[in-house]
Amino acid sequence: MEYNERIKQLRIQKNITQQQLADEIGVSRQSVVRWENGLSVPSMYYAQRLAEYFGITVTGLMTGFDDLPKVAKPDSDMRVKRGTSTIRFCLTAFLIVVVYALIINVIQVVSYSNVQAGNDSVTVRSVFAMINAIIDGLAVVAMAVALAMWISRLVVWLSASDDRFTWYGIYKKWMVGLAAWLVNMLTVVLLICMYIMPIVFLYAMAAVIAIPIYCIIDFALKKALSDRMIVAGNKTLKIINSIFCAIISCGVVALIAWIVYAVATFRPTYGLEVAFAVLYFCIAAVVVIISYIITRLILHRVTTRHMNYDAQK
């Protein structure tokens, strides 16, 4: 196997494009294309950069006398472990909210029953208020502890690898966990402020509030970690995703506003109006999602053809 075939094989094993490899070692994509086609030979400096990036010696890269790296692909077991840990963290945040809501409902039922039984007094109300405050505090602390444990796990993952693609994968999992935590934490806050509201309604409100917070944090982190965010993004895909999120967010806001208006007016037909609002929202959401999927498929096909064309050059 010639040096050009080894470079191409190592790049494919890394699951990166020619442009990404060029960005890593500081050359143009045309240089990588010429190396892989055998039209030119990397200088000693760039041969060293390539060898360091692929985890082999320069001799192994250029002559093939050394074995290829034992692990050129990402550790699949570790990726599964990270994914499982992310799911576990999201479920933990959700369960904290559900358990908290159930406890609050039980306290409200007991308090209401106590009033109906004629045992209401300032002392009893103070006791129930103190219990509510304790439960509220415990819920917030539980969410904070869950986030702290999640961050400590992330620190362990990040310190275990210097590979920038691994860092980017961990970052994406972190943002998934952060989105789930934000929505659940905001739901806890809304529950504290409005005990009587249905939890599903509060989740919808929390999701709408969390979207701009999430985008701000994502923007700030990417700016702060710009040296780690080396995986090339697709600008068209980012625009499509932003438009999709904006449309869905506007739909959720409109639905919540409609439900609040219908419930606040206390008209006899408000239940029917809410049902129609939910139905219209579901139909609109299905149309938007189908359009989004079709757009993504078209973009994927075009991008794949473009990458294949570049690889054949």
Q: Does 210 lie in the same domain as 104? A: yes
Q: Are residues 91 and 226 in the same domain?
A: yes
Same domain, 14 and 112: no
107 part of a folded domain: yes
Query: What is the CATH classification number for the domain harbouring 25?
Result: 1.10.260.40
| Residue from 295, 29, 73 nearest 169 by CA | 73
Are residues 92 and 223 located together in one domain of the fold?
yes
Domain that holds residue 110: 75-231
One domain for residues 123 and 238: no
Residue 310 lies inside a defined structural domain of this protein:
yes
Averaged confidence pLDDT in the chain: 76
Is 79 found in the same domain as 216?
yes
Which of 205, 231, 257 is at the close of a domain? 231
User: Would you say residue 150 has pLDDT above 50?
Assistant: yes
Whether 221 maps to a domain, the answer reads yes
**What pLDDT, on the 0 to 100 scale, is given for residue 72?**
43
pTM of the model: 0.50
* Same-domain check for residues 84 and 207: yes
pLDDT digits (tens, 9 = 90+) for 59-83: 777 776 654 444 444 455 677 788 8
Does 67 fall in a domain?
Answer: no
Residues 43 and 81 in one domain: no
Residue 54 corresponds to which amino acid?
A: F
Are residues 160 and 194 in contact, defined by beta-carbon separation less than 8 angstroms? no
pLDDT band with cut points at 50, 70 and 90 for residue 230: very low
Whether 7 maps to a domain, the answer reads: yes
Q: Does residue 306 share a domain with residue 247?
A: yes
Considering the domain architecture, whether residues 123 and 187 belong to the same structural domain is answered as yes
Q: Is the pLDDT score of 308 beyond 60?
A: no
More confident residue, 93 or 161: 93
- Rounded CA separation 158/165 (Å): 11
Domain membership flag for residue 205:
yes
Closest CA to 199 of 210, 188, 209: 188
Say what the pLDDT of residue 231 is: 43
For the residues 229-252, what does the mean pLDDT come to? 65
Residue that wins the pLDDT comparison between 125 and 156: 156
Provide the 3-class DSSP secondary structure of residue 16.
coil
Tally the domains of the chain: 3
Q: Are residues 86 and 226 in the same domain?
A: yes
Look at residue 265 and tell me whether its pLDDT is greater than 60: yes
Instruction: Give tens-digit pLDDT for 31-59.
Output: 888 888 877 888 777 888 888 888 888 77
Q: Are residues 87 and 205 in the same domain?
A: yes
